[in-house]
């Protein structure tokens, strides 16, 4: 199930994504968004000229994350630009920088849901505090995974799906600092990217940790999290994922492919 199969996936250029994304929002607020994107871009370029390189779709995600409040979205975006320059100065995280995390064999990526969102599978029971690389290496691993997912999004798609499997999770896997760090990265630097998070095989003991993490999850993210009952696992996943795109471990047809073995071209 978890062989070293190498999957090639197309990496879409920002131009392709921009051309295919329609600014029409579900509530018909495209004109309002477009005007605010222009205003926000002007403000961003005053504070950080490098923001000119960012496309409107990216700016729109930050606006939506702050309910179209230009001032709050600008502050969030400027923080993102500063973080990216310092945390990912070369533009990407290499496998050599996350060897200890890769060795835990806990994150996989393949297939897409019915709307075209790429799917990642994360096994929480395989995660343990990284004593060699520490929290910084774990954060690099999180960014590595998020960047991989974003690169696999087809034109017109801005979100991804995650299946979080807690089979075998115990207190030895508990890592509050790591969980909060991953949550912060997702919410602060990849806003409006998570489409849905399914949490499977949840042990009772996990809920103690969940109660500690839950207050730090923003309201929009909370609405995207679904705890799945074991008896309804496959039927629940099939509502969003075709069987041809579902991992074998959940009754589908796809083999699990380690995140580092997905080679985007």
DSSP assignment, residue 170? -
Q: Are residues 118 and 67 part of one domain? A: no
Task: Give the CATH number for residue 82.
Answer: 1.10.8
Q: Are residues 38 and 138 part of one domain? A: no
Confirm whether 2 is domain-assigned.
Answer: no
Would you say residue 4 has pLDDT above 90? Answer: no
Q: Are residues 114 and 53 part of one domain? A: no
> pLDDT per residue over 179-228, tens digit each?
999 999 999 999 999 999 999 999 999 999 999 999 999 999 999 999 99
Confirm whether 231 is domain-assigned.
Answer: yes
The whole-number pLDDT of residue 156 equals 87
Q: Are residues 222 and 190 part of one domain? A: yes
Dist CA 91 CA 102 (whole Å) = 20
CB 198 within 8 A of CB 236: yes
Token pair recorded at residue 93:
């995280």
Token pair recorded at residue 170:
């115990």
Would you say residue 5 has pLDDT above 50? Answer: no
In this structure, the number of other CB atoms found within 10 A of the CB of residue 109 comes to: 24
Backbone angles phi, psi at 114, to 5 degrees: -70, -15
Confirm whether 67 is domain-assigned.
Answer: yes
CB 81 within 8 A of CB 50: yes
Q: Are residues 140 and 215 part of one domain? A: yes
Q: Are residues 244 and 150 part of one domain? A: yes
Contact partners, residue 116, CB within 8 Å, separation at least 6: 153, 154, 156, 157
Considering the chain, what is the average pLDDT of its residues?
Answer: 89
142: containing domain:
95-258
- pLDDT tier at 264, thresholds 50, 70, 90: low
Q: Are residues 243 and 218 part of one domain? A: yes
Confirm whether 1 is domain-assigned.
Answer: no
Q: Choose one of 86, 116, 131: the last residue of a domain.
A: 86
Would you say residue 56 has pLDDT above 80? Answer: yes
Q: Are residues 100 and 64 part of one domain? A: no
Query: What's the domain count of the chain?
Result: 2
CB 9 within 8 A of CB 259: no
Q: Which of 146, 215, 224 is nearest to 182 (CA)?
A: 146
For the chain, the straight-line distance linking the first and the last C-alpha, in angstroms and rounded, comes to 24
Task: Give the CATH number for residue 223.
Answer: 3.40.525.10
pLDDT above 70 coverage of the chain, percent: 88
Burial class (CB in 10 A: 0-12, 13-18, 19+), 103: exposed
Q: Are residues 52 and 25 part of one domain? A: yes
Q: Are residues 106 and 40 part of one domain? A: no
Helix (H) or strand (E) holding 123: strand 118-123
Q: Choose one of 86, 118, 145: the last residue of a domain.
A: 86
Confirm whether 130 is domain-assigned.
Answer: yes
Q: How far is CA 71 from CA 45, 68, 207, in A?
A: 14, 9, 36
> pLDDT per residue over 137-173, tens digit each?
999 999 999 999 999 999 889 999 999 999 999 999 9
> pLDDT per residue over 81-116, tens digit each?
999 999 999 999 999 999 999 999 999 998 999 999
CB 167 within 8 A of CB 126: no
Q: Are residues 103 and 73 part of one domain? A: no
In this structure, the number of other CB atoms found within 10 A of the CB of residue 52 comes to: 9
DSSP assignment, residue 92? S
User: How far is residue 99 CA from its own chain's centroid?
Assistant: 20
């Amino acid at each position: 199930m978890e062989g070293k199969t190498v999957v090639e996936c197309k990496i879409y250029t920002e131009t392709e994504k921009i051309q295919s994304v329609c600014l029409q929002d579900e509530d018909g607020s495209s004109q309002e968004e477009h005007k605010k994107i222009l205003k926000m871009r002007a403000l961003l370029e005053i504070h950080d000229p490098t923001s000119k390189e960012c496309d409107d779709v990216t700016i729109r995600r930050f606006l939506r994350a702050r309910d179209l409040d230009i001032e709050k979205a600008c502050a969030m975006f400027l923080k993102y630009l500063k973080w990216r320059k310092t945390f990912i100065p070369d533009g990407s995280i290499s496998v050599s920088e996350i060897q200890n995390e890769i060795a835990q064999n806990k994150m996989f990526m393949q297939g897409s849901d019915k709307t075209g969102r790429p799917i990642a599978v994360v096994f929480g029971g395989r995660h343990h505090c990284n004593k060699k690389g520490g929290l910084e290496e774990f954060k690099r691993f999180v960014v590595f995974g998020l960047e991989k997912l974003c690169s696999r999004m087809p034109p017109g798609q801005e979100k991804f799906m995650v299946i979080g499997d807690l089979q075998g999770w115990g207190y030895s896997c508990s890592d509050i600092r790591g969980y909060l760090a991953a949550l912060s990265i997702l919410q602060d630097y990849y806003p409006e990217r998570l489409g849905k998070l399914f949490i499977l095989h949840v042990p009772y003991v996990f809920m103690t940790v969940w109660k500690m993490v839950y207050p730090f999850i923003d309201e929009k993210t909370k609405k995207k999290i679904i705890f799945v009952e074991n008896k309804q696992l496959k039927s629940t996943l099939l509502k969003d994922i075709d069987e041809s795109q579902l991992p074998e471990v959940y009754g589908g047809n796809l083999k699990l492919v380690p995140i580092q073995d997905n080679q985007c071209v």
